[in-house]
Amino acid sequence: MKINSVLFSVMLMLCCAVTIQAESCVGRCGGSFSPSQPCQCNDACMRVGDCCSDYQAVCLRESCIGRCGDDFSTAHTCQCNSNCQRYDDCCEDYDITCESGSGEENEITDTELLGIGNTLWESDHLRYTDSEIAINADGNELFSYVDERKLSQPSYALFIALLNNYNPLNDQREPNLTSAELAETEAFLNHVASSQVMSHVNNLLESRGKIQRGALKDVLYDLWFSFYGRRSSMTFADSSGFEHVFVGEKKSNKINGFHSWVQMYLLQKSGNLDYLGYNAKSEPSLIDTKFNWDGLYKARGSMFVVSFTKPVRYDANYCTFVNIGTSPEFDMALYTLCMLARPGQQCNTQIQDNIVSIQTYDVSHVSGIQVATAFPMVSNSK
């Protein structure tokens, strides 16, 4: 009896150990869906709501990417400044990312941020020209002409293919992306990561230890395409940076996010958007619009869209302006730079002879850095 009792105890311990292991993400991060496991440890689990309890702690470990030199914060489980070595609370990648405690010295300066704006602007070779697009800022529809032949080029076509991959309703679980939709995301990321405009951003971020060498594509995915719950109390994912900024989200009786001129044009064309005028406009190519999308109101929606210094025609009723629409990779490159260089702050750069301010916010209740929102500030009144 004593032997049987010991044997039973051993078997019970082994059984419990297997159960505990199965309910943990240790050694399982990034694995494919397993129906034999009670919980999962991959990107999809946040959307489906079946993550193991230690998924965020094990698979989404705190990183110093974009945080080098930041002040101590109780919102993070580890720190990324020179004091963290003294208090033994550095993140695991502190030495690699912040170059052994020199994070403050490697910060991107205000002068560098101001200087890179025109470099990005001049590298945006797929930006719409004054013969390809025009708007009527005071009319019933914002866009009076768009040369759609350009929308078939990879920059725009790959971007447009992503716009219907999301459920824009907040507080509703995001659908599982199909293999075709995942391939669309991959194709867009490949294009953006290899673009000339993004290469300038990548070089600056790598040189200052904001991202590891060769990690750009992974960083872009985490920033823009990782799903999360927009509210900290949510047990499932209903949002992502890309969806919020470039697609727009519907919440109760209003629109959140939505800072893409391409999305706005496509919804106007389909008859699903009612343009209600603008709050402000400023150089270069910035407008703060107000509109209804499927009956829901957007009070302020700023985006790069138009140059106001070249009127095409003017009469007593309205003025139509030449439009210079920025490419998707320009918007993502500039927002990514500001998200990692000045998260949660206004990020100032110079484009042509104008100072442009970008505001970004991180998802504070999720470990790591994901885009909660990013948009240009439009200060000049109409």
Catalytic residue numbers?
A: 244, 259, 298
Pairing type for strands 254-256 and 273-282 reads: unpaired
CA distance 341 to 211: 11
Cα-Cα-Cα-Cα dihedral of 5, 8, 10, 15, to 10°? -160
For residue 164, how many other CB atoms are within 10 A of its CB?
10
In the chain, DSSP assigns E strands to 133-135, 143-146, 249-251, 254-256, 273-282, 286-293, 296-304, 311-314, 319-322, 346-351, 354-362, 371-377
Residue found under tokens 């020179």:
82
125 SS3 class: coil
Closest CA to 267 of 289, 291, 250: 291
For residue 241, how many other CB atoms are within 10 A of its CB?
29
Tokens of 220: 């872009």
Sign of CA dihedral 336, 342, 343, 346: negative
> Looking at the chain, how many residues does it have?
382
Task: Using the CB atoms, write b or e for 120-149: b if 16+ within 10 Å.
Answer: bbebbebbbeeebbbbbbeeeebbbebeee
Closest CA to 295 of 281, 274, 311, 315: 274
CA distance 220 to 237: 18
